[in-house]
A and B are shown apart, each in its own frame.
Chain A
Amino acid sequence: MISPGQEDTRLMQRVTAGDDADAALAELYDRYAARVFGVCLRILNEAQMAEDALQEVFVRVWERAHLYDAGRGNFLTWLMGITRNTCIDQLRRLKARPQAAEPPDETDAFSFEESLTDPGSAIPEIAALNERAALVRRALAALTPEQRQVIELSYFRGLTRREIARKLNWPEGTVHTRARLALQNLRLALHQLGLNADDL
Chain B
Amino acid sequence: MSTEHVSDLLPLYALGALEPDEAGRVEAHLPVCAACRAEAAEFVAVAGSLAAAVPARQPRPAVRDALLRRIGQLGPRPMRRSAPPLPRTPVAPPPQSAKRRRARTWPAINWPMAAILAGLLGLLAWNINLTNRLNSLQQQVRAQSAAVALISSPLTLSMPLQGQGPAATASGRAYVDPDSRSIVLIVQNLEPLDEDHVYQAWVITDDGPKSAGTVNVTRSGWGMSWLSVPYPEQGQIGVSVEPAGGSEWPTEVVLLEAQDG
Complex Cα distance A18/B18, Å?
A: 38
Query: Which residues of the other chain, A, contact B52 by a CB distance below 8 angstroms?
Result: 132-133, 136, 200
| Residues from 136 to 166 in A contacting B, C-beta threshold 8 Å | 136-137, 139-140, 150-151, 153-156, 158-162, 164
Nearest CB in chain B to that of A18: its residue = B79
Report whether A22 and B55 are in contact in the complex, using a CB–CB cutoff of 8 Å: no
Cα–Cα, bound, A18→B57 (Å): 30
Q: Verify if B99 is at the interface (C-beta below 8 Å from A).
A: no
Most chain-A CB neighbours within 10 Å: which of B53, B58, B67, B74?
A: B53
Evaluate contact between A164 and B17: CB separation under 8 angstroms.
yes
List, in ascending order, chain A residues with CB within 8 A of B208's CB.
Answer: none
Cβ-defined contact, A183 with B51, below 8 A = no
Q: Indicate if B50 sits at the interface (CB-CB under 8 A).
A: yes
Contact B176–A67 (Cβ < 8 Å): yes
Q: Which of A72-131 contact B (CB under 8 A)?
A: 72, 77, 80-85, 88, 110, 113, 116-118, 121, 123, 126, 129-130
Residues on A with C-beta less than 8 A from B56 are 34-35, 37-38, 126, 129-130, 133
Residue B45, interface by CB 8 Å: yes
Q: Is the CB of A38 within 8 A of B55?
A: yes
Which secondary structure characterizes the binding site on chain A? Answer: helix
A116 to B50, CA, bound (A): 16
B53 in contact with A85 (CB, 8 Å): no
B122 interface residue (CB < 8 Å to A): no
Q: Residue of B at shortest CB range from A150?
A: B15
| Interface: B100 (CB within 8 A) | no
Within 8 A of A (CB), among B1-45: 8-12, 14-19, 22, 42-43, 45
In the bound complex, how far is the Cα of B56 from the Cα of A22, in angstroms?
23
Determine which of A55, A60, A116 lies in contact with B55 in the assembled complex, contact meaning CB atoms within 8 Å. A116
- Measured in the bound complex, the distance between the Cα atoms of B145 and A27 in whole Å is 39
User: Which chain B positions have C-beta within 8 A of A66?
Assistant: 77-80
With A29-B64, A160-B17, A160-B19 as contacts: A113 and B51 at CB distance below 8 Å: no
| Stretch in B88-96, B103-111, B131-139, B150-158 with 4+ CB within 8 Å of A | B150-158
Q: Find out whether the CB atom of B57 lies under 8 angstroms from the CB atom of A155.
A: no
**CB–CB B55/A15 < 8 A:** no
C-alpha gap A159/B57 in the complex (Å): 25
Report which B residues bind A (CB closer than 8 A): 8-12, 14-19, 22, 42-43, 45-60, 63-64, 66-68, 70-72, 74, 76-80, 154-155, 157-160, 176, 178
7 nearest A-B pairs in the assembled complex, by CB-CB distance: A154-B17, A200-B52, A34-B56, A136-B53, A154-B15, A179-B11, A67-B157
Given A33-B58, A55-B70, A161-B18, 20 more A-B residue pairs with CB atoms under 8 Å apart are A33-B59, A37-B59, A38-B55, A51-B59, A51-B60, A54-B67, A58-B71, A63-B78, A66-B78, A81-B48, A81-B154, A116-B55, A126-B57, A151-B15, A156-B50, A160-B17, A160-B18, A161-B17, A176-B12, A197-B49
